[in-house]
């Protein structure tokens, strides 16, 4: 396990150095110069970092959970199905209609609007779930502390 720790620290150091280098380049190149090319590069780098993080969590989570408790993979599958169902419901609830008139701009397609509305619905669901979990957590802690 010590070797993995060293590898993770080295990979994190490399990613931080690349991130700082891109940020410094963005400041020197100018974020508004060259049609915002520096901003686009930073956004793509953020997408790459996010993808690496998600892949690491999923891959290493699967490996560790399979070693510790093989039955946990079934619970993981059920959780993924629940998340897929929530995303599907958010997609079905998304209207995808044009809210505004666009002047001299590229009109978004119906699929882009549907995707945007789906993401907004997922954000609303997540926010509501966070608020509910905070309230339930506080109630559970209050009940447990009185015993």
CA distance 108 to 146: 56
pLDDT (tens digit per residue) in 82-115: 999 999 999 999 988 776 666 666 777 888 889 9
Query: What pLDDT score does 147 carry?
Result: 67
Residue showing tokens 């790459």: 48
pLDDT along the chain (147 residues), means of 10: 76 90 84 76 89 86 83 85 94 82 72 90 95 96 86
Cα distances (angstroms) measured from residue 42 to each of 17, 25, 119, 127:
14, 10, 22, 27
Whether the full predicted model's pTM is greater than 0.75, yes or no, is no
Query: What pLDDT score does 59 carry?
Result: 86
Classified as helix, coil or strand, 4 is helix
Packing angle, helices 72-93 and 110-146, rounded to 10: 130
Query: What pLDDT score does 84 carry?
Result: 94
């Amino acid at each position: 396990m010590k070797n993995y720790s060293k590898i993770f620290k080295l990979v994190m150091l490399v990613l931080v150095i690349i991130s700082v280098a891109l940020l410094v380049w963005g400041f020197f190149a100018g974020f508004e110069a060259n049609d915002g090319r520096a901003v686009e590069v930073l956004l793509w780098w953020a997408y790459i970092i996010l993808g690496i993080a998600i892949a690491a969590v999923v891959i290493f989570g699967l490996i560790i959970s399979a070693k510790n408790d093989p039955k946990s993979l079934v619970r993981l599958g059920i959780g993924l199905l629940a998340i897929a169902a929530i995303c599907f419901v958010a997609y079905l609830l998304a209207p995808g209609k044009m809210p505004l008139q666009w002047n001299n701009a590229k009109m978004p397609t119906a699929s882009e609007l549907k995707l945007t509305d789906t993401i907004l619905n997922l954000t609303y669901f997540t926010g509501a779930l966070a608020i509910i979990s905070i309230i339930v957590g506080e109630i559970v802690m209050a009940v447990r502390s009185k015993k």
